């Protein structure tokens, strides 16, 4: 059995990869580490989740319409993470519409 890789080591390794190589399918959604930096002893991350189907667009006076995304484009949500390796504490802020638990 392999020894677990420390979280910060895994994130640093991933952040050095080209953006397109960071992309993984997890639970039916695309996931990617968009940005990583260390600042003042904290690890700052920006994670992106892509949706393979998505809502249309609409306006109050008209019907719903297709968003017109290209074949290689998807809807996405961002999650910002502040991680403190000293306490192993973290804070998540998800940027997505709707209620999340």
Of the pLDDT bands very low, low, confident and very high (cuts 50, 70, 90), residue 100 is very low
Tokens of 91: 């804070």
Q: How many CB atoms lie within 10 A of CB 77?
A: 16
Q: What is the pTM of this model?
A: 0.64
Q: What is the pLDDT of residue 17?
A: 94
Q: Based on the number of CB atoms within 10 Å of its own CB, is 2 exposed (0-12), middle (13-18) or buried (19 or more)?
A: exposed
Count of Cβ atoms closer than 10 Å to residue 43 Cβ: 19
Element (H, E) at 93: strand 89-95
The radius of gyration computed from the CA coordinates of the chain, to the nearest angstrom, equals: 17
Pairing of strands 29-39, 89-95: unpaired
Residues 1-59: tens digit of each pLDDT: 677 888 889 899 999 999 889 888 888 888 888 889 999 988 898 888 876 665 555 55
pLDDT of res. 101: 38
Regarding predicted confidence, which is higher, 98 or 95? 95
In this structure, are residues 30 and 47 in contact, taking their beta carbons and an 8 Å threshold? Answer: no
Res 37: pLDDT: 92
Question: 79 and 87 in contact (C-beta within 8 Å)?
Answer: no
Could you report the per-residue pLDDT of 50-81, keeping only the tens digit for each?
766 655 555 556 555 666 677 787 777 777 88
């Amino acid at each position: 059995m392999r020894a677990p890789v420390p979280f910060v080591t895994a994130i640093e390794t991933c952040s050095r990869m080209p953006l397109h190589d960071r992309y993984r399918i997890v639970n039916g959604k695309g996931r990617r580490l968009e940005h990583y930096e260390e600042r003042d002893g904290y690890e700052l991350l920006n994670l992106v989740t892509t949706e393979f189907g998505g809502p249309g667009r609409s306006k109050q006076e008209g019907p719903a319409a297709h968003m017109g995304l290209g074949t290689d484009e998807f809807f996405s949500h961002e999650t910002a993470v502040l991680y403190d390796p000293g306490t192993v504490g973290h804070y998540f802020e998800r940027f997505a519409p709707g209620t999340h638990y």
